[in-house]
Amino acid sequence: MTKTNVKPAEGKLGIMVVGNGAVATTFMTGVLMARKGLTKPVGSMTQYDKIRVGKGEDKKYLKYADIVPLASLDDIVFGCWDVYPQNAYQSAMYAEVLKEKDIEPVRDELEAIKPLPAAFDKNYAKRLDGDNVKPCQTRWEMVEALREDIRRFKAEKGCSRIVVLWAASTEIYVPVDEKVHYHLADLEAAMKADDREHVAPSMCYAYAALVEGAPFIMGAPNTTVDIPAMWELAEKTRMPIAGKDFKTGQTLVKSGFAPIIGTRCLGLSGWFSTNILGNRDGLVLDEPANFRTKEVSKLSTLETILKPDVQPDLYAHGNDEDTQYFHKVRINYYPPRNDNKEGWDNIDIFGWMGYPMQIKINFLCRDSILAAPLCLDLCLLIDLAVRAGRYGTQRFLSFFLKSPMHDYTVGEEAVNHLYQQYTMLKNAIREMGGYEADEEID
């Protein structure tokens, strides 16, 4: 083992969440309850997972916090922005994800978390009607107002470090435009010119965070930090970024199950995925322009795991052009389900001599219950990355994300295979802990 240069996790860690809805309040409530010893942070890798370090006689299996200096749950301070003015207690009760008995013990702490006015553009989420919104005239004014929010929160709460996490709704799809999104100077010029078509509000949050020395995590499929201009800013500010879209239900299943088909050398004719969801996220995704953003994110998973060009006999069939299996994703807004999302996967495979078979997966999941531990892990690990001197895109966090960031300008492909992602995560923890990164990504 070599000596690690990771700075210790001293002082308070401020987690400023964009959005104060179901995911955010489930995350906050769970952390507050867990640190009182009133619940268990089940599903959190940073709290439960153990990694092997060393080999042979030196082999040990250790929790993350025994390998690297992670912030303690006791050190976390929460803040948020939202278009609705309700505090975190009111919002948690409204979301109806958690039972009242699991919210009441931390009521006072949740009531103290009052959302700052959001930097919001209704054109990006037409189904949201909140009035807790900053009176900004331009995108650049949004950036300046958000920077001031971060500075003030850090000072008032006595935080030594800040992480900004997007847990708000999916914005409308913003295609990457080389004239605006490839160079930082062009992006800044577009913000100052109030280019609302190419600059999403989420980009203003990310820009403000990075310039204020806070790493940024994109938990929705928005076009935000996955553009070269933001990579340039992350390099300039020496801040880590991660995204995009929390990998909670169906895509988690897909990234874990597709390797079974691939490893077993079975063929795939088609994979049809559909979801029913009734919370505010489902409402926003009922708008076609917003669904398009999510669709692009969800569709990208399979194609990097089961590759037609690598195994044409197995994966180059199924659609009209006969170049690849058929892959379809649908999300349906269905209010009675609220946060209890249901994902159906119909998978048409074929085996020996081309004989067809089917697999059906029905995942009755709870969206926010799966997302909350991801929020905790991403925040603790990106804070660790800052203290380890890592900056730019944090590929080791791909394990937690549906559509992992990658440098598409040079033809890099995202790693979507769950077990390869897990190897990347373990190797990064080992390295930051001063151990050898000793697993191969095959």
Q: What is the pLDDT of residues 129-185, one digit of tens each?
A: 889 999 999 999 999 999 999 999 999 999 999 999 999 999 999 999 999 999 999
Average pLDDT over the chain reads 93
Residues 134 and 263 in one domain: no
Residues 342 and 377 in one domain: no
Are 42 and 68 in a shared domain? yes
The range of the structural domain enclosing residue 49 comes to 12-246+368-432
54/130 same-domain check: yes
Do 62 and 120 fall within a single domain?
A: yes
Q: What is the DSSP string of 240-299?
A: EEEES-B--SHHHHHHHHHHHHHHTT-EEEEEEEEEEE-SHHHHHHTSHHHHHHHHHHHH
386 part of a folded domain: yes
Could you tell me if residue 442 is inside a domain? no
Task: Mark whether 92 and 225 lie in a shared domain.
Answer: yes
**Mean pLDDT value across residues 60-75:** 98
Residues 55 and 176 occupy one common structural domain: yes
- pLDDT tops 80 at residue 386: yes
122 pLDDT higher than 80: yes
Q: Which of 347, 364, 381 is at the close of a domain?
A: 364
- pLDDT score of 320 more than 70: no
The angle that helices 184-192 and 201-211 make with each other, rounded to 10 degrees, is 120
CATH number at residue 220: 3.40.50.720
Residue 7 lies in a domain: no
Q: Is residue 397 part of a domain?
A: yes
**Within-domain flag for 345:** yes
- DSSP letter (8 states) at residue 133: B
Task: Name the pTM for this structure.
Answer: 0.93
**Across residues 70-94, what is the average pLDDT?**
98
Nearest in space to 115 (alpha carbons), one of 147, 87, 156: 87
Both 201 and 235 in one domain: the answer is: yes
- Domain check: are 307 and 180 in the same one? no
Q: Which helix (H) or strand (E) holds 425?
A: helix 418-432
